[in-house]
Structures are given as structure tokens and as C-alpha cells.
């Protein structure tokens, strides 16, 4: 059983206080009877809740795929900069948060949800969920450096980086990586990098270890989820049922 105000807020009708006002106006009925009491208990799976003439479908968790543009921060709020949540203003953003962080100038795939358990499963260092990126750099690595990059680097942290994937991006991967990109990097030297962890500025610091500077970085995948090239930077969509199911079952 669930309080009616919580149910309505979870469904995205509005904040808890907005929902209370909506109830007072008599705009909600449960199983055919108008209900104004916020604490009224309902069975989300079976009770028929109508708001403004429309039957509601209960949804506790929300999942969005945002193509993060450069210039915004991966935080729920920030005194100075635009945040990734500012792009989802028409959604029930109350409990939403980005799953992991991308740097302010990094673009690409960002999962936004209010599902703490899924976020934990995707981010926990123990779960080793792959995150892949295309990194445009100003200096090519040699074979020895590539091997070192793969096996683990000392980038000034307590421990070496975990084994990572890296290979030179093909022309079609470069084309794909630059699709809808906010800048056109001067150098077309690009690598596809796959990490199993997410340390602060990790990819930039790994290339910096070899005096190579990352000039453009875009995240392409997180576990089973892939960036949708139909999404322009700053645009988002809800995940499909298949994508959600796979996030739970394909990454463990």
C-alpha cells in the first residue's frame, strides 16, 4: 500500500506539495470515487487512479538517456553552472540524479535516474561495468605506451589504474564520435578507451601520463547502454523497456 500523494508524485504529476493542492481541488479519483485526502492508501498495481480524466500508470523509477553537451556539470545542483538536470525540467526531477560524473567539457552518454540500486550496481568498483569513450588527443601513443595503458598506469593515485581497453579508432568510429559534437578537434588522432572504473579525470590523466592531451572526449557506452546518435547534445529520451531490463541483467 502507498500513500496517494506519494503515488501521484512518483508518477510525475508534481512535487509532494503540488500534489496536495491538486488533491484538494478534487482532480483525483480512486476506483471511481473522488479522493482529497493525501494520506489515503492505495494499491499501486490494482487501484484505478484517474487524474484530470486520465488513468495513471504507476512508475516509481524513471530512466533517461541524456546526450550531455559540454558546458554543464554532472550534478543535481550547482550555484554557478548549468547542471545536467536542467535539461529534464519538464520531468519529475525531484529525486533524479546522474549515474556517475562526466567532466564539464566531456560530452555523450549519461544515464539519469532516481533508482539508487541500479546506480550503485553500475558504479560500484566491484562490479567492473565497462564504460567506453572516444578520446581525441594531440599526440599518438606508441605500441609500448598502448601496452602500458592497457595493463595499468601510475597516475598519482594510491593504486595503479585497473587494466583498460584501448585501440586506435577507425575512420567510421571517428565519424561516429564527431556526430553532433560541439567542437571539431584539430587533430584526428582518436582512441576508443574502455574503463572498468571511474576516477577523477581518469582518461585525461592517463593520456597526460604520456604527455598527450585529450582535446575532445565523448562517452559512447555504459554497460549495455549505447549513446543514441538521434539525440542532439542536450537532448534526452526515456529508456526503452529492453534497455532497462538489460541494464539490470546484462551487466552483472
Span of 5-13, 50-58, 109-117, 195-203 interacting with ligand URA by CB under 6 A: 195-203
In 11-142, which residue ranges form alpha helices assigned H by DSSP? 16-24, 116-123
103 in contact with ligand URA (CB under 6 A) = yes
106 is an interface residue for ligand URA by CB under 6 A: yes
**Is residue 132 within 8 Å of residue 165, measured between CB atoms?**
yes
154 catalytic? Reply is no
Among residues 246, 220, 217, which one has the least CA distance to residue 121?
A: 246
Q: Does 204 bind ligand URA (CB under 6 A)?
A: yes
From the CB of 207, what's the least distance to ligand URA, in Å? Answer: 8
Q: Site for ligand URA (CB under 6 A): which residue of 99, 129, 217, 227? A: 217
For residue 7, the SS3 value is helix
Q: Is 202 in the site for ligand URA (CB under 6 A)?
A: yes
- What residue spans of 152-219 are helical by DSSP H? 171-177, 202-208
Give me the count of residues in the chain: 252
- Say whether residue 42 binds ligand URA (CB under 6 A): no
Closer residue to ligand URA, CB minimum distance, 103 or 148: 103
221 near 109, Cβ under 8 Å? Answer: yes
Pick between residue 42 and residue 65 the one whose CB is nearest to ligand URA: 65
For residues 103 and 60, give the distance between their C-alpha atoms in angstroms, rounded to a whole number.
Answer: 29
Q: What is the distance in angstroms between the CA of the first residue and the CA of the last residue of the chain?
A: 31
Q: Count each helix (H run) and each strand (E run) in the chain, helices first.
A: 7, 15
| Options 95, 103, 130, 228, the catalytic residue | 103
- Answer for which of 139, 201, 230, 240 binds ligand URA (CB under 6 A) is 201
Q: How far is CA 147 from CA 69, 135, 172, in A?
A: 31, 17, 24
Q: Does 62 bind ligand URA (CB under 6 A)?
A: no
Half-sphere exposure in the Cβ direction for 113 (13 Å, CA): 20
Q: Does 114 bind ligand URA (CB under 6 A)?
A: no
Q: How far is the CB of 132 from ligand URA (least distance, A)?
A: 10
Told to check if 203 binds ligand URA by CB under 6 A, we report yes
Q: Which residues bind ligand URA (CB under 6 A)?
A: 102-103, 106, 201-204, 217
Active site residues: 103
Amino acid at each position: 500500500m502507498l500513500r496517494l500523494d506519494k503515488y501521484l508524485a512518483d508518477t510525475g504529476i508534481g512535487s509532494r506539495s503540488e500534489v496536495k493542492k491538486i488533491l484538494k481541488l478534487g482532480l483525483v479519483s480512486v476506483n471511481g470515487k473522488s479522493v482529497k485526502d493525501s494520506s489515503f492508501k492505495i494499491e499501486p498495481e490494482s487501484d484505478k487512479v484517474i487524474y484530470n480524466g486520465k488513468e495513471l500508470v504507476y512508475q516509481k523509477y524513471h530512466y533517461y538517456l541524456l546526450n550531455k553537451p559540454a558546458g554543464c556539470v554532472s550534478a543535481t545542483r550547482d550555484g554557478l553552472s548549468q547542471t545536467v538536470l536542467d535539461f529534464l525540467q519538464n520531468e519529475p526531477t525531484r529525486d533524479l540524479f546522474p549515474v556517475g560524473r562526466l567532466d564539464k567539457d566531456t560530452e555523450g552518454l549519461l544515464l539519469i535516474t532516481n533508482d539508487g540500486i541500479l546506480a550503485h550496481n553500475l558504479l560500484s568498483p566491484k562490479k567492473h561495468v565497462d564504460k567506453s569513450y572516444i578520446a581525441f588527443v594531440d599526440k599518438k601513443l606508441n605500441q609500448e605506451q598502448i601496452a602500458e595503458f592497457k595493463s595499468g598506469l601510475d597516475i598519482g593515485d594510491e593504486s595503479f589504474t585497473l587494466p583498460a581497453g584501448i585501440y586506435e579508432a577507425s575512420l567510421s568510429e571517428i565519424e561516429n564520435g564527431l556526430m553532433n559534437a560541439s567542437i571539431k578537434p584539430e587533430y584526428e588522432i582518436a582512441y576508443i578507451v574502455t574503463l572498468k572504473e571511474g576516477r577523477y579525470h581518469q582518461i585525461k590523466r592517463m593520456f597526460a601520463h604520456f604527455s598527450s592531451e585529450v582535446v575532445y572526449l565523448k562517452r559512447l557506452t555504459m554497460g549495455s547502454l549505447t549513446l543514441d546518435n538521434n539525440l542532439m547534445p542536450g537532448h534526452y529520451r526515456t529508456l526503452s523497456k529492453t534497455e532497462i531490463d538489460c541494464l539490470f541483467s546484462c551487466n552483472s
